[in-house]
Amino acid sequence: MTRRDLTTFLSALSPAPAQGHRNLCIVPVLAGDEAPSGKLTLDEALGRGLAEVTEVSEQGDVPRLLFLNHGNAPVLMIDGEELIGARQNRILNLSILAPGRASLEIPVSCIEQGRWAWSSRRFTSSDRVIYASLRRANVESVSANLRRRGHRHADQYAVWSSIAAKSVRLDASSQTWAAGALYDRHAAELQEFVQSFRSADRQVGAIFHVNGRLAGLEIFGAPDLLARLLPKIIRGYALDALDHALCGPAPPHAPDGTALLSALARCRITRHRAVGLGDDLRLTGQGLAGAALVAGGKPVHLTAYATT
């Protein structure tokens, strides 16, 4: 995908009226059609027994896991999705489209610092994506490591430090400093956020604002992917909203998103071969950092975050 292709794709999208709950505002992004994606999500593949995720060996390796797709349909995993079990809980470092009937080593980061012991032989998925401010840091870290060293590692110590600090602020510590404790501690409030937003017809994306400031953007290649993944993505942004809750009145609604889509189209693009199917594009712009998994000539999942 070239810059022109990205510009064409983004120019076909249109923002819809914003929705809000407390200090989180979401601007839906709509496409022109509702063609199904033909892809499974990680939750669906694991839940139906069509895929499994394990440690790469009996000894394990913190930044790598093994994904096995036993079905014919490609499986989409998005950056920040949490995998629970085995020797320690992990998150995906980037979005991956796993081909059918194939196995892949997938790059991950640890989000449970105090455990390195078997709790299960296989991982399960969770109902959340890690909070957006950590996803932003990982996008920047992975992009820098791709540019300098050609690998997709995140800054593991920065991940642990971020989780530890947030756990203190949100009164959600655990014996193993697991990020999951943050979501367990605030489960009821996070569910209120999820129930306050609804996906719209033809919606393929969402622009998130916390306290009236841009937090991030998610765009998928088809509305069915957005609809299935939006609740767990909202939990991640909502956790940041709780962390930065205001004591005063709610901020005004966010802009309609047109300027952000235009700025995204002007980002500098670097291309890398993806893990699995497609290409991994890294996006850098004025106040923006992002990544896009591209297959079949258009983004499967594109994400971008405010860096200022």
Q: For 7-38, how does the pLDDT look when each residue is reduced to its tens digit (9 = 90+)? A: 899 999 999 999 999 999 999 999 988 889 99
pLDDT of residue 252: 60
Q: Please give the pLDDT value at position 180.
A: 97
The mean of the pLDDT values for the chain is: 94
- The average pLDDT across 60-72 equals 98
Q: Give the tens place of pLDDT for each residue, 205-236.
A: 999 999 999 999 999 999 999 999 999 999 99
Query: In the prediction, which pLDDT does 297 show?
Result: 86
pTM higher than 0.85, yes or no? Answer: yes
Q: Say if residue 255's pLDDT is above 80.
A: no
Each residue's pLDDT tens digit, 153-183: 999 999 999 999 999 999 998 999 999 999 9
C-alpha span between 9 and 294 (Å, rounded): 12
pLDDT at residue 249, as a whole number: 59
Mean pLDDT of 67-91: 98
Residue 90 corresponds to which tokens in the numbers above? 């992990």
Indicate if the pLDDT at residue 111 is higher than 90: yes
Percent of the chain at pLDDT > 70 equals 97
Asked which of 55-64, 114-123, 249-258 is least confident by mean pLDDT, the reply is: 249-258
What is the pLDDT confidence band of residue 6, given thresholds at 50, 70 and 90? confident
Residue 48: Cβ within 10 Å count: 11
Is pLDDT at 250 greater than 80 in this prediction?
no
Give one DSSP letter per residue of the chain, joined into a string. Answer: --HHHHHHHHHT-EE---EEETTEEEEEEE-S-------EEHHHHHHTTSEEEEESSSS-BTTEEEEEE-SSS-EEE-TTEEEEETTS-EEESS-EEEPTTEEEEEEEEESBTT--S-S-SSEEEEEEE--HHHHHHHHHHHHHHHHHHS-----HHHHHHHHHHHHHHTT---TT-BTHHHHHHTHHHHHHHHHT----TTEEEEEEEETTEEEEEEEESSHHHHHHHHHHHHHHHHHHHHHT--SSSPPPPPP-SHHHHHHHHTSEEEEEEPSBSSEEEEEEETTEEEEEEEETTEEEEEEEEE--
- Tokens linked to 294: 């591209």
**pLDDT tens per residue, range 122-144:** 999 999 999 999 999 999 999 99
Neighbours of 196 (CB within 10 A): 15
Residue 41's pLDDT is what?
Answer: 98
| Distances 8 to 63, 145, 271, 286 between C-alpha atoms, Å | 36, 29, 18, 20
